[in-house]
Structure 1
């Protein structure tokens, strides 16, 4: 009755390789056909603006809805119900099995492992992400000592980052390791003595609201890595583009840095932008290093009690620039979607440069990048173990050990995202966000305007006026004439309630974020219209 077809329109060069697409389908358990669209032909045909974009086509071949982002389950459910009734009555609805044929299930000891830590006694704990388990390995990185997890989504669902708590903290709270349980939107506590898990943060439901620096929340959003820093567990909250802190003693989670806007912006934690932070490592000098994959960047956070904490960029240029090039940073050196970091004995930083299949090295003293190892299969984490590195070679389903090499210089070129830009004219720009509540709902205007619109820009000088947050879905912006290109970050929220009587009607919050690359061109359009929903 409902056929789902995925269209893979890659952002990064590596994602356009057929083998990478096939691996991603298996890694995430995709149970429907996927069309590989490396040249963005289908992307352009459907006028997509953002990842992901959802298009609903009715049984007669007409596009009846298009929406971008996540959180559309309720509206889709209502729309599909209406379409089923309409086309069943018209005789145009066809029922039957879909076209998907599942491939044979692979057999490897590990399946797309994510992260690794060393345990007391010389063993290693690895997140066996696609098996939804944790595995303790002997020092040979092959022999299994024990596992935890059912092997299917449930108590663990694509676990990723791991961090061992200090012994005094572990004794106080009753567990030794904090696990970033990404798809369950939770943190789990693992006791090494009893080999038992318990949820210590998160509700199992993804956070949808915006939470500002310093504020707390019970729900989490795709935690990807964890590290012990400044007396707390820092969480790379990939789903909200932020860093959070978790106190094991109190069980409280709060925002440490990031605005929820996706991008590359340095400054105080309350102003900084991240882009799916996915790797963390704390240095002995107090620096917290962050792998920020969607900007292909290495970031750092330094806690300075007098001046306050600061977020800076060591390597990386932004959302749309990446490559494989060594040299001075941040001007020349380029990464491609790094997922892991570790601090080397000399204070430099090893980077799991995932989509380049390499381990890179950043020297904070000289601010240069070199390459330590190449030809790896999507390395997702790196761990220092004495005078060697333990690398999680995720797409090869294994861990490997290698000596820490001196490094060599590489220049394999630079790339820019091939996503189409939006041409806009300098001067006044009429921004309109269209929102139609799903059938059976109405705007919740009991307490005034139920909408909120936030606009920022990178670089900030792209916007002469119109930035900030205010009610309403229409706003006049002014674009600078002396900035040739940039990114408009637009966030909107609206509330709607079910039709019905009085205070008992259920209400729903709809939210969407866009990062729109723009080019300033004379005589280009002076209007920009976006759809929050189209159902």
Structure 2
């Protein structure tokens, strides 16, 4: 793990944007410090899994001459914009400085070829550690310990740790990065208020009926005021219960609205392995469940961390892989041999399970009777954009949410900040709501209206002729009336 071969680290470009710090950093300024570089991109589930590791390390070495820096080398076009990276820094509550790696120049200078990659520099600016992938806590910690000891003995260690002032601030909205929503037959809206670590239930007028969760991040079962979640995403109604993909707890939770009680159905609170046969729900570790869909005692789980879709049987309490081998790709066919890529949105209609396969910018479906997967739109890991037209030519950019009717699929095309429509009758794709060059919302028959645009919406649901949209980075729920093409805000109160 520890590489004593020496190579000099290239200096950071002086004109690049820095986030979460009140001043730009340079390797010359960091001389005398151990520097840990995290090359990441905010769409990447493996990068998300690495952030808690870095947070633990930052806490362990706080006050010592060790500096952690995120190098954001964006995959998608949207991920190359500074304001979007700033939202990601806020969303994942990153405490260390982040440099915006324009056109991946730093990535290339350091010879990086995978997300995430950790590089450690010694106090003299030499590269002494390089490793891609998750789960590096012990290796990074051992490397830091050796460097601190060696350079203290040599006298090349800084006497004091460099003081870096974080500049990111949390929002003060009712919602904080709402991830997913689900609407019951009676019109109750369940919202995952992700960064407030809670679930909100309102009616269609916005009147809040339930607030579920204390707001403190954690994993605790109990009543609505004491239960704890950690950045939950997917929610779905199942009769009088709500099922929740409690994403960063790596668990599936159930909310009993009759008894005002939250219980854990699956997951142990620790991230599960890449490959797993499943097992009894509460004893089986799982990995970053991102969305859920429910039908007659079966809960389908978009297991983003495994690039699979799993099943949880409410009666047997067993959770097992259902679709995808775990290899990240877009390959159709029988569910056992198909490849998925970070499935992040589910919607069940009749005998079809539609899903947003985010890393291949695809919308796909599972025929639940035949147990086969078919791609509707999407081609590959690096084929994305914003193109309408025939489904064979259309392009999306990291969609996270879908809902469907008999002939229509509505898509939260997240990194295009748009709501797109797939017309299954005509095999055409068109944009229903999308940003114009002037940052306005472009609506059918009213392309010049000047209202708040969507900002990386993560989910969309249809109810009574209206689309309810989790407008994630605007911290809002938006309502689009299909009868008159108006876009409003759901006024939660």
Q: TM-score, normalised by structure 1?
A: 0.70
Q: How does 1:31-110 map to 2 (within 5 A)?
A: 31-94=95-158, 95-96=160-161, 98-110=163-175
Query: What secondary structure does 1:146 align onto?
Result: strand
Question: How far apart are the structure 2 equivalents of 1:237 and 1:190?
Answer: 20
Report the count of equivalent residues.
392
Structure holding more strand per residue: 1
1:320 aligns with 2:385: no
Aligned to 2:234: 161
Alpha-carbon distance, 1:231 to partner: 4.4
Alpha-carbon distance, 1:303 to partner: 2.2
Query: What secondary structure does 1:324 align onto?
Result: coil
Decide whether the 8 Å contact of 1:214 with 1:256 is kept in 2: no
Decide whether the 8 Å contact of 2:279 with 2:319 is kept in 1: no
Q: How does 1:461-480 map to 2 (within 5 A)?
A: none
1:343 to 386, 389, 404: 404
Moved more, 234-243 or 398-407: 398-407
Decide whether the 8 Å contact of 2:251 with 2:289 is kept in 1: yes
Tell me which stretches of 4 or more aligned residues in structure 1 moved more than 4 Å: 212-217
1:131 aligns with 2:196: yes
Question: How far apart are the structure 1 equivalents of 2:154 and 2:320?
Answer: 53
Alpha-carbon distance, 1:98 to partner: 4.1
**CA pair 98-210 structure 1, distance change in 2 beyond 3 A:** farther
Q: How does 1:110-259 map to 2 (within 5 A)?
A: 110-119=175-184, 121-141=186-206, 143-154=207-218, 155-166=228-239, 176-211=241-276, 218-229=284-295, 231-259=297-325
Question: How far apart are the structure 1 equivalents of 2:280 and 2:75?
Answer: 33
Question: How far apart are the structure 1 equivalents of 2:297 and 2:188?
Answer: 25
Decide whether the 8 Å contact of 1:179 with 1:187 is kept in 2: yes
Query: What secondary structure does 1:323 align onto?
Result: coil
Deviations 1:363-419 (A, max 9, x none): 223322122222321111001111111011111100011123699xxxxxxxxxxxx
Aligned to 2:420: 360
Alpha-carbon distance, 1:53 to partner: 0.8
2:479 to 401, 414, 423: 401
Question: How far apart are the structure 2 equivalents of 1:209 and 1:240?
Answer: 5
Decide whether the 8 Å contact of 1:351 with 1:359 is kept in 2: yes
Deviations 1:141-169 (A, max 9, x none): 3x4333222323212111000111145xx
Deviations 1:474-497 (A, max 9, x none): xxxxxxxxxxxxxxxxxxxxxxxx
Question: How far apart are the structure 2 equivalents of 1:299 and 1:186?
Answer: 24
1:380 aligns with 2:458: yes
Aligned to 1:270: 336
Alpha-carbon distance, 1:106 to partner: 2.1
Decide whether the 8 Å contact of 2:180 with 2:192 is kept in 1: yes
Aligned to 1:516: none
Aligned to 1:333: 394
Gaps of 5+ in 2: 1-63, 219-227, 436-453, 486-493
Deviations 1:194-240 (A, max 9, x none): 33211110001111241369999811000000001474100000011
Gaps of 5+ in 1: 168-175, 408-535
Question: How far apart are the structure 1 equivalents of 2:69 and 2:258?
Answer: 45
Q: TM-score, normalised by structure 2?
A: 0.76
Question: How far apart are the structure 2 equivalents of 1:406 and 1:347?
Answer: 20
Decide whether the 8 Å contact of 1:213 with 1:257 is kept in 2: no
Deviations 1:497-516 (A, max 9, x none): xxxxxxxxxxxxxxxxxxxx
